[in-house]
Structure 1
Amino acid sequence: MDKRILIPTDFSKNALNAARYALDLYTKLNCEFYFLNVFRLTNYTTNTLILPEPGSAEYEAAKGASEEAFIKLLDMLELHHDNPKHSYHTISSFNFLSEAMKQTIDNKDIDLVVMGTQGATGAKGIIFGSNTVNAMEKIRECPVLAVPDELRFSIPKEIVFPTNYKSSFSRKELNYLIEIAKMHNTSIRVVYFTKKTTLTEDQEKHKQLLDDILQGVDHSFHTVPDKDVAQGITSFVQSRNSDMIAFINKKHFLFNSIFSRPLVKEIGYDATVPILALNES
């Protein structure tokens, strides 16, 4: 079955960049790409009691503008990404982005969401736009890949996978990470940040299970002592010129402590590499 990838777009350069990255990353696989645009109505606000109806002049004009922008987008993509393995679909929706994304994930059986880190209105100093942070935090049905602004695709040579070994692992929650590694012959570097030198018995078991699951792809284990986790990831990625960060989006684990915007801003994390948020099974 073809892989189904959802790419929300506001037709900004950043969204186009994320789309191009996704097309290049999955160039070897048969994929159906679903492009989603949530359109707005100029005179409509949440204070307005009357919702614009399909068929009304304002609604149809806004939808028509979205569909016209899609024609230009697909022409641009097909010009540079003429891949017989890929097919494109477009969805113009008058809805909240989060709702439109959830509906599309359910209705189209989406495997992966790919988003740019900022939209057309991205404020300077905020690395991840709120839509991207919300998607990485809230979407549990499939992984979310966030692609930094202006990042050009290059074949990923190394993916950094931070973990604390406190929970068990499953093949299901790691299958997208392993798939990318196998597609591009990419190495996975498992990184544990700790002030202790030894693992508990349970942590050792979880590490061994992870080692077993990653058999078949090049991988290695690294321990970084006495490091603030967020700074540690940044330093590790920068020192090795790594190409991607992947983490399992466990509730109350790394997401809130590392990738939330306040801390991202505080530590000056540049989001120079894509971040893949996998789902806890």
Structure 2
Amino acid sequence: MKKILLLTDFSKNSINAMNYGLQLFQNEYCDFFVLNVQSSLSYATDDLMASRPRESLYEVLIAENKQRLTSIVEGLKLNANERLHRFKSIVDYDLFIDAIKQTIKKENIDFVVMGTNGASNLREAIMGSNALKVLRFINCNTLVIPEGYQYKKPKRFLLALDVDDYADHKTVFDITELIQKLDANINVVRIVSTNENVQSKIQLDKDLLLELIHENKFTYRTVSNIPLSHILVDEELAQDAHIITLVGQFKGLFNRLFSDASKTNISKNMILPLMIFHH
């Protein structure tokens, strides 16, 4: 049973991302926790004035969001597998990252699913900022869906390994398990530096892949001296993949992927869903 956290700010983009997650895990037993966070810093004087004497501030601030979230969950159920999928809606009045961390811990979440987009208006700017916060501060496997990206059953994954990444057994097992359930293939791209002896690293990668997946189900190649972030926005590097997959230690991965120079470009130009596995 997978436990998946779906994040929503009620935008079309977040709803699209949630529906993508439902379809990706269409044939797996899943508990979906649909979370909307009402920031504890965002209430206004009008909210206080509108409250009745016996209502708490908390109740006033989340009442409308509870109604909206209930409506969204009912819509999600139309695209869900009734036999395999269950839903729980959560409205939390808290700081955004704190609310996510608490839910992950309480519900033993396996995956976080959310959308990201270019900042063309204030709401989208906030959502884009929140997506980066999740990738920076949340140590949980995460699936990020670009703005407007419509679900198509993934037939090919791209696993990008940076110069210092190592593919541990559990993480690669989790990736190949999903690939096999989808009857998909995987292209592995290992980034190398020109001044290193890469043969032993390549052999370790291939040995692990062959242990977990048939040799006809993956390809392997190396590329030299490019930033990891380029793979997210370069159609030629992505080849014909439907999902880009990254692995790595939590904090180190974010620092390499979202440097100040690259994070704006990534948030506006990410071309494929991004699935990040932490180890």
What pairs with 1:119-138 in structure 2 (closer than 5 Å)?
Answer: 121-123=123-125, 129-138=128-137
CA distance in 1 between counterparts of 2:266 and 2:73 reads 38
CA distance in 1 between counterparts of 2:11 and 2:266 reads 27
Amino acid at match of 1:173: T
CA 188–253 in structure 1, closer or farther in 2 if over 3 Å, else same: farther
Name which of 189, 192, 197 aligns with 2:190: 192
Amino acid at match of 2:151: F
Output one character per residue of 1:59-111: Cα deviation in whole Å (capped at 9) or x when no partner: 31222111101121022112333532101001111111111111111111111
SS of corresponding position for 2:87: strand
CA distance in 2 between counterparts of 1:79 and 1:268 reads 30
Is the CA contact (8 Å cut-off) linking 1:104 and 1:110 kept in structure 2? yes
Q: 2:155 — aligned with what?
A: 157
How far 1:116 sits from its partner (Å)? Answer: 1.0
Q: 1:169 — aligned with what?
A: 167
CA distance in 2 between counterparts of 1:251 and 1:82 reads 32
Alignment of 1:206 with 2:214, yes or no, is: no
CA 85–237 in structure 1, closer or farther in 2 if over 3 Å, else same: farther
Q: 2:21 — aligned with what?
A: 22
Q: 1:91 — aligned with what?
A: 90
How far 1:270 sits from its partner (Å)? Answer: 1.4
What pairs with 1:255-274 in structure 2 (closer than 5 Å)?
Answer: 255-260=254-259, 262-266=261-265, 270-274=269-273
CA 81–273 in structure 1, closer or farther in 2 if over 3 Å, else same: same
CA distance in 1 between counterparts of 2:197 and 2:26 reads 40
What pairs with 1:137-152 in structure 2 (closer than 5 Å)?
Answer: 137-140=136-139, 142-152=140-150
Name which of 176, 179, 193 aligns with 1:178: 176
SS of corresponding position for 1:272: coil
Is the CA contact (8 Å cut-off) linking 2:143 and 2:276 kept in structure 1? yes
CA 130–102 in structure 1, closer or farther in 2 if over 3 Å, else same: same
Is the CA contact (8 Å cut-off) linking 1:192 and 1:223 kept in structure 2? yes
**Taking structure 1 as the reference length, what is the TM-score of the superposition?**
0.82
Q: 2:224 — aligned with what?
A: 225
CA 63–252 in structure 1, closer or farther in 2 if over 3 Å, else same: closer
CA distance in 1 between counterparts of 2:2 and 2:81 reads 17
Amino acid at match of 2:169: R
SS of corresponding position for 2:186: strand
CA distance in 2 between counterparts of 1:8 and 1:230 reads 24
CA distance in 1 between counterparts of 2:194 and 2:84 reads 48
Q: 1:42 — aligned with what?
A: 43
How far 1:232 sits from its partner (Å)? Answer: 5.0
Is the CA contact (8 Å cut-off) linking 2:37 and 2:92 kept in structure 1? yes
What are structure 1's unaligned runs of at least 5 residues? Answer: 45-51
Normalized per residue, the structure richer in helix is 2
How far 1:249 sits from its partner (Å)? Answer: 3.0
SS of corresponding position for 1:94: strand
How far 1:257 sits from its partner (Å)? Answer: 3.0
What are structure 2's unaligned runs of at least 5 residues? Answer: 46-50
Is the CA contact (8 Å cut-off) linking 1:160 and 1:237 kept in structure 2? no
Q: 1:241 — aligned with what?
A: 240
CA RMSD of aligned residues (A): 3.0
Q: 1:48 — aligned with what?
A: none
Amino acid at match of 1:105: I
**Taking structure 2 as the reference length, what is the TM-score of the superposition?**
0.83
The range that moved more, 200-209 or 8-17, is 200-209
Is the CA contact (8 Å cut-off) linking 1:159 and 1:186 kept in structure 2? yes
SS of corresponding position for 1:39: strand
Amino acid at match of 1:56: E
Is the CA contact (8 Å cut-off) linking 1:10 and 1:37 kept in structure 2? yes
CA distance in 2 between counterparts of 1:129 and 1:261 reads 15
SS of corresponding position for 1:130: helix
Give the % identical residues. Answer: 24
